[in-house]
Chains A and B, each alone.
Chain A
Amino acid sequence: GAGVSQSPRYKVTKRGQDVALRCDPISGHVSLYWYRQALGQGPEFLTYFNYEAQQDKSGLPNDRFSAERPEGSISTLTIQRTEQRDSAMYRCASSDGQGSYEQYFGPGTRLTVT
């Protein structure tokens, strides 16, 4: 079946612009996670949802970052007033259970802020 998809795959934006990154999890998956991955590093946790509820947003770097999953399926990560330090690969992952289940990662969105 279809895996996790993300769009856009690449995004170049000017400093100060807002961006919205979309994640479409595997159908029926309860949990959805957002990560940021710098080159040569492991994924860094940002936030996660169980169904439509945002359970933990402790990893969001500052209040310019927000995420939602209004209907418990597709999720959007929004970065307002982007800065060059926001440039990174943003990945989402989904799992079909709440808790310690394998996470299926999407291909990521490569964000470049110029």
Chain B
Amino acid sequence: QQPVQSPQAVILREGEDAVINCSSSKALYSVHWYRQKHGEAPVFLMILLKGGEQKGHDKISASFNEKKQQSSLYLTASQLSYSGTYFCGTEQRSDSWGKLQFGAGTQVVVTP
């Protein structure tokens, strides 16, 4: 039931774009995205809910294709601060109360 993330790792130059994908074998109610820097706690980026509502407060954008049970996170004009490991967390039901199954993560390295 753990979602599958791809790619496992990506190296970018500052200013380049990247897409991180998260897919599930089961229907999803919501997808949550977090970023974790080395030695630190995961930090919230975005929530995408079934029905199209999106909650977030960063310049990083995301999409949620309910039919394909997939979500994508878009890193546009990447900055050095975007480096870290990105995790998607999926919720299968509206009454899951925020119980998340996290993927294995995508490591992003942004170089000058």
B13 within 8 A of A: no
Instruction: Give which listed residue, B41, B49, B87, B102, contacts A100 with CB less than 8 A.
Output: B49
Contacts of A103 in B (CB 8 A): 32, 44, 98, 100
Contacts of B40 in A (CB 8 A): 107
Contacts of A106 in B (CB 8 A): 41
B105 near A40: Cβ-Cβ < 8 Å: yes
Contacts of A107 in B (CB 8 A): 40-41
Most A Cβ at <10 Å: residue of B32, B89, B96, B99: B99
Contacts of B104 in A (CB 8 A): 40-42
Assembled-state Cα–Cα distance A102/B58 (Å): 13
Q: In B74-112, which residues have CB < 8 Å from any A CB?
A: 87, 89, 91, 94, 96-105
Q: In A16-71, which residues have CB < 8 Å from any B CB?
A: 31, 33, 40-45, 48, 50, 55-56
Instruction: Give which listed residue, A40, A44, A50, A101, contacts B102 with CB less than 8 A.
Output: A44
Instruction: Give which listed residue, A42, A48, A55, A104, contacts B103 with CB less than 8 A.
Output: A42
B47 within 8 A of A: yes
* Residues of chain B at the chain A interface (Cβ within 8 Å): 2, 29-30, 32, 34, 40-44, 47, 49, 55, 87, 89, 91, 94, 96-105
Q: Given A42-B103, A100-B29, A100-B49, are A105 and B41 also a contact pair (CB < 8 Å)?
A: yes
B91 near A100: Cβ-Cβ < 8 Å: yes
CB distance from B34 to the nearest CB of A (A): 8
A100 near B99: Cβ-Cβ < 8 Å: no
| Additional pairs, 10, CB under 8 Å, beyond known A41-B104, A103-B100 | A31-B97, A33-B100, A42-B103, A43-B42, A43-B102, A91-B41, A95-B98, A100-B29, A102-B32, A105-B34
Assembled-state Cα–Cα distance A105/B94 (Å): 22
B105 nearest CB neighbor, chain A only = A42
Assembled-state Cα–Cα distance A45/B103 (Å): 11
